[in-house]
Structure 1
Amino acid sequence: MDKRKSALLAIILLLLTSFFVFDLGQYLNLASLKAQQAALNAQVLANPWLSGGLFFALYVLVTALSLPGAALMTLVGGALFGLLGGTLLASFASTLGATLAMLSSRLLLRDWVQSKFSQRLAGINQGIEREGGSYLFALRLVPVFPFFLINLAMGLTKLPARTFWWISQLGMLPGTLVFVNAGRELGQLDSLAGILSPGLIGAFVLLGLLPIISRKLLELVKARKVYAGWQKPKRFDRNLLVIGAGSGGLVSAYIAAAVKAKVTLIEKHKMGGDCLNTGCVPSKALLRSAKLANELKKAEQLGFKPITGEVDFAAVMQRVQRVVADIEPHDSIERYTQLGVEVLEGEAKITSPWTVEVNGQSLSARSIVIATGARPLVPKIPGIELVAPLTSDNVWDLREQPKRLLVLGGGPIGCELAQAFQRLGSAVTQVEMTERLLIREDQEASEAVMASLRADGVELRLQHKAVRFEVVEGQRQLICLNLVDNREVVLPFDQVLLALGRVANVKGFGAEELGLEVRNNGTLETNEFLATRFPNIFAVGDVTGPFQFTHTSAHQAWYAAVNGLFGGFKRFKVDYRVIPWATFTDPEVARVGLNEQDAKDQGIAYEVSRFGIDELDRAIADEAAHGYVKVLTVPGKDRILGVTIVGEHAGELIAEYVAAMKHGYGLNKVLGTIHIYPTMAEANKYVAGEWKRAHAPASALRWLARFHQWRLGGAEGAGSTQLIASDKVV
């Protein structure tokens, strides 16, 4: 530590020690100052400049040392110097003290903190550099955190001291004014009867309303800044306008119509979005056919002679389309029109924060919800244009089954489709860069799925990186790099399916022209209320993330619709605490909350309770005795941190734990719930029983054993009585 730091630290420690040793805090309370009010008032009248200077210096010292009493000092300023004088003294003293505290923190701690936590602070530093002033102003204006913590925390950043000074001066002024006014009223209080005076009541009402007023003022300031240059319509055609009729858009429109708002829904392609037309629905229909094909192979296990079935691939794919058609009415224009939604077919273009153009018509709305979804990622692999790759968008157009199918990607979509096509008769090779499939799941879950895929005949090429596509003498092939031994491998195929993730649709509807910000991962940036940089423009679903699930889009839609319609009165922060998901392979993998690898990465302590489904009666009867239920809990408690289920119907079984985590009950309540016998759901109760057994009170059980032995009577019982008595003596 250099001399400057040593000297500063010594001065701070000396002053803090003096404060506590001499119990100076006793003078920084309302009762003590009220008792001295007459003498203090006389001193101010006799020597106003000296009194003001001493008050200023004391206030600076208190705030610079982060001592308790700054709020009281502000009240005293109002009582002694009046509204104008007290505000001037307290405002400038508090800002000077806060700046000194910030600089002290910066000199003593910043280098050490930045070096020790450089990676964790990288994002914070970028944010402070980009909009640190706005962030500080918001904290000063709406005092969510104690001001002394803000001073110390800002010292650890690279925010310029000059910026800290003037923003603190401006941001703390409204609060200082309100506190000084309250102090002025308190200073005029001569008896308890004065507590009911209109002035004092008004002062405390202002104190209570300060956070609300400050928040509204901050919102107005931000709104004026973000809407600068845009002409707001004097009247609106509708309350809400939704772009995109996928899950997020449909639910947003539905909610608006349900509360009798005037809402318009615009879709340029197909109602129902990806989930209905190219995602969840068609893939599950395909998986059902593939499951039957696999069940036929198990006929002998169920008491049948061998059964053979020939797959009619074109009929299978035709059935997929029939399933989509059967569900289409649920998401149709007719249904939503009957619900009260105006549905327009066409390409939307946002032309201002309140207007959208479609089919040459300009529509205005108080709020806009963007639900434009995402599309499959098509990487720029050399030669990809030669092989006409399939994606989850166009694979459903197939009517001729590919004999050799190459699947790129080891996520949920890649695993589901690889297994389905393999079971329907294609020879599938699946290529993944990492060392295992389903990298977000625990190793154990990943290995269960990989074992099943291999048992079905899928050739897994793990730790292989696609390098280029080639067509040699009419033969399509992928050249990939084996990342283990660094050699090239040739994989021939007839069709290639890309399952490498999805890219948010953030272009083509006016987002660029409005300057809506896009995150590094390509999704539209929104805040905790799902609003973009414009408070009346929201985004939901795959276009903003962070989860690309249909049910998450619907979950977000409620917040966007309600905030868009009623945000002027009350806004709701989107809740991501309990988000479940499932991969519908065989076995299914369902998950909610933390798994083990997440808990380890985040340094969260946990206990594991596990029940093997191979012990479950119903699973044995159904020839489905494989998989497990794994529950993570807080050490020593039954509070659930996360659950992973691997096995048949895992997606259904997880719902009980989603409810438990959402509503805050633990494994004791799950154990105490009656589950029908014999069902797969009993696995949830049995894993709770495993937790209970592991946390049984051993000492109490030993005493109970002795008690029951004593109740048997006889000589043996008498001996036990003596044993209990001797235990008591011990």
Structure 2
Amino acid sequence: MEEITCDICVIGAGSGGLSVAAGAAQMGADTVLIEGAEMGGDCLNHGCVPSKSLLAVAKQAHLMRNPPVPGVAAADPQIDYAAAKDHVARVIETIAPVDSQERFEGLGVRVLRGWASFEDEKTVVTDAHRVRARRFVIATGSSPFVPPIDGIGDVPYLTNETLFALRDRPEHLLIIGGGPIGLEMAQAHARLGSRVTVIEADRALPRDDREQVEIVLAQLASEGVQVLEGQKVTRVRHSDGVIRIETEGGTYEGSHLLVAAGRRINLDRLDLDRAGIAHDRGVTVGTDLRSPSNRRVYAIGDAAGGAQFTHVAGYHAGIVVRSAVLGMTWSKARTDHIPHVTYTDPELAHVGMTEAETREKFGGRTKVLRFNYAENDRAIATGRTTGFVKLVVANGRPCGASIIGSDAGDLIAIWSEAIANGTKLSAIANTVLPYPTLSEINKRAAGAYFAPQLFENASVKSVVRLVQKYLP
């Protein structure tokens, strides 16, 4: 077994781990990166990249059937499901070199391929290596969670790790789970010609504004997707090529089953107890992302037990690089400015506090502003008028924003920036934006905060009359 010593040992070559390794090595730290599966992690190989690629194909098929503006006749697209999956594979192959072992070795990172586990507080081992490091970064990500449903072990089910390798289009796709993955793949497959039934034990997209979620559900229903809320799956069976799901409300049959019921953090292989690393659902860390029981160890992204998003892992990576590499130990992680997006059509995006949370904190100083896509000239011109932005404000600053509509994931960016930096609404209202663009929706929402003060204020009217009387 080869003995290695280094400054930083990163376990996991997903988005967060790669960012730490690249930053540390390029700044001069002796860096080792260990990965037992595929470089790029879940996001590149089984998550964000393939799902958005498949959604792009599905959206094109939908637009052919349903042109958003007149002048172009609707057409019935000829769907080649295998070719759609070829597109997914090409996108992954195009991006993969950025995350490749060769690239990171070129940056000065020593990449070890194998599964890592802790031997003691200062040492990690693989089948062929023993690594002693000043600092360890656990960036192992997460995997699909399969609930302990009666019969699930006897049913040929799919997860996001196997779905994108499927070459034959499902005739009727059953989906357990009404979260972002479940609803995104439901819409994609419905648009590609499958019948789809989604079964959710609670409410679909429970973390989002219910009024906006209802718009997503209405769109899915209009495309033939059946979404069943409040139906817990009690049993799953498979016979004669038919999958049967039994719930508290009925029985549903289909040809394929996708389990999208959440994620479990990948900690099982690590032997954390040997290193004195406290853990529960994820690694126990403070706002500095360090383990309080073993200060050599950091955890980032999904492994840190918080929000499970690629952009969170990247954000955590920056904090760890500043702390573990540059010694800026005062660098802390926040959660109040982290956005999330569900990439259905229309998209649904949110950042910051909800209306209820803002009212609880600020009481009567809370104001709720709203601006509809249907009042935006670009949305009208392009036939994308479904949706609205809902802005929650206190003391002249945005506390939270939710957007339902076309390109919501891009439009939420300005509110993420504003909340992260404590920007006043006046700064957004004063920004000059190109016309006509969807981005004006955000500016108009900000402007709605000042409209009553300017146009409904008796004192302002009196001053204006006085000025007009004496203005030369």
TM-score range, shorter chain: over 0.9
Aligned equivalent of 1:274: 42
Once the two structures are superposed, what CA deviation does each residue of 1:129-171 show, in whole Å capped at 9, x if it has no partner?
xxxxxxxxxxxxxxxxxxxxxxxxxxxxxxxxxxxxxxxxxxx
TM superposition shift of 1:564: 2.3
Aligned equivalent of 1:703: 462
Aligned equivalent of 2:171: 403
Query: Is the contact between residue 368 and residue 564 of structure 1 (CA under 8 Å) also seen in structure 2?
Result: no
TM superposition shift of 1:362: 1.3
Distance 2:172 2:357 in 1: 36
Equivalent AA in structure 2 for residue 648 of structure 1: S
TM-score (norm 2): 0.95
Query: Is the contact between residue 121 and residue 274 of structure 2 (CA under 8 Å) also seen in structure 1?
Result: no
Query: Is the contact between residue 276 and residue 294 of structure 2 (CA under 8 Å) also seen in structure 1?
Result: no
Query: Is the contact between residue 530 and residue 540 of structure 1 (CA under 8 Å) also seen in structure 2?
Result: yes
Q: What secondary structure, in the 3-state scheme, does the structure 1 residue paired with 2:148 have?
A: coil
Matches within 5 A, 1:281-296: 281-296=49-64
Matches within 5 A, 1:421-440: 421-434=189-202, 436-440=203-207
Q: Say whether 1:466 aligns with 2:233.
A: yes
Aligned equivalent of 1:109: none
Q: What secondary structure, in the 3-state scheme, does the structure 2 residue paired with 1:556 have?
A: helix
TM superposition shift of 1:601: 6.7
Distance 2:83 2:6 in 1: 45
Matches within 5 A, 1:610-621: 610-621=370-381
Once the two structures are superposed, what CA deviation does each residue of 1:410-468 show, in whole Å capped at 9, x if it has no partner?
1111111111111111100011122x311111111111111111111101111111010
Q: What secondary structure, in the 3-state scheme, does the structure 2 residue paired with 1:394 have?
A: helix
Q: Say whether 1:628 aligns with 2:395.
A: no
Matches within 5 A, 1:162-561: 237-299=5-67, 301-434=69-202, 436-482=203-249, 489-519=250-280, 522-532=281-291, 533-561=293-321
Distance 1:427 1:667 in 2: 45
Distance 2:462 2:152 in 1: 73
TM superposition shift of 1:709: 5.5
Larger CA Rg, structure 1 vs 2: 1
**Residues 675 and 701 from structure 1, CA distance in 2 versus in 1: closer, same or farther, beyond 3 angstroms?**
same
**Residues 355 and 419 from structure 1, CA distance in 2 versus in 1: closer, same or farther, beyond 3 angstroms?**
same
Equivalent AA in structure 1 for residue 285 of structure 2: T
Q: Say whether 1:649 aligns with 2:407.
A: yes
Q: What secondary structure, in the 3-state scheme, does the structure 2 residue paired with 1:695 have?
A: helix
TM superposition shift of 1:515: 3.6
**Residues 472 and 352 from structure 1, CA distance in 2 versus in 1: closer, same or farther, beyond 3 angstroms?**
closer
Equivalent AA in structure 1 for residue 151 of structure 2: G
Query: Is the contact between residue 300 and residue 306 of structure 1 (CA under 8 Å) also seen in structure 2?
Result: no
TM superposition shift of 1:236: 7.8
Distance 1:667 1:452 in 2: 32
Aligned equivalent of 2:443: 685
Equivalent AA in structure 2 for residue 646 of structure 1: I
Q: 1:674 aligns with which of 403, 414, 432?
A: 432
Between the two proteins, the alignment pairs up a number of residues equal to 467
Identity of aligned residues (%): 37
TM superposition shift of 1:708: 5.3
Matches within 5 A, 1:16-165: none
**Which structure ranks higher in relative contact order (CA pairs < 8 Å, sequence separation ≥ 6)?**
2
TM superposition shift of 1:577: 3.0
TM superposition shift of 1:359: 3.2
Structure 1 unaligned spans of 5+: 1-234, 483-488, 714-730
Distance 1:502 1:391 in 2: 11
Structure 2 unaligned spans of 5+: none
Distance 1:473 1:330 in 2: 44
**Residues 584 and 604 from structure 1, CA distance in 2 versus in 1: closer, same or farther, beyond 3 angstroms?**
farther
Q: What secondary structure, in the 3-state scheme, does the structure 2 residue paired with 1:508 have?
A: helix
Distance 1:386 1:604 in 2: 53
Distance 1:410 1:582 in 2: 14
Query: Is the contact between residue 611 and residue 683 of structure 1 (CA under 8 Å) also seen in structure 2?
Result: yes
**Residues 257 and 688 from structure 1, CA distance in 2 versus in 1: closer, same or farther, beyond 3 angstroms?**
same
Query: Is the contact between residue 668 and residue 688 of structure 1 (CA under 8 Å) also seen in structure 2?
Result: yes
**Residues 491 and 603 from structure 1, CA distance in 2 versus in 1: closer, same or farther, beyond 3 angstroms?**
farther
Query: Is the contact between residue 386 and residue 470 of structure 1 (CA under 8 Å) also seen in structure 2?
Result: yes
Q: What secondary structure, in the 3-state scheme, does the structure 1 residue paired with 2:349 have?
A: strand
TM superposition shift of 1:393: 0.8
Q: What secondary structure, in the 3-state scheme, does the structure 2 residue paired with 1:397 have?
A: coil
Of Structure 1 and Structure 2, the greater helix share is in 1
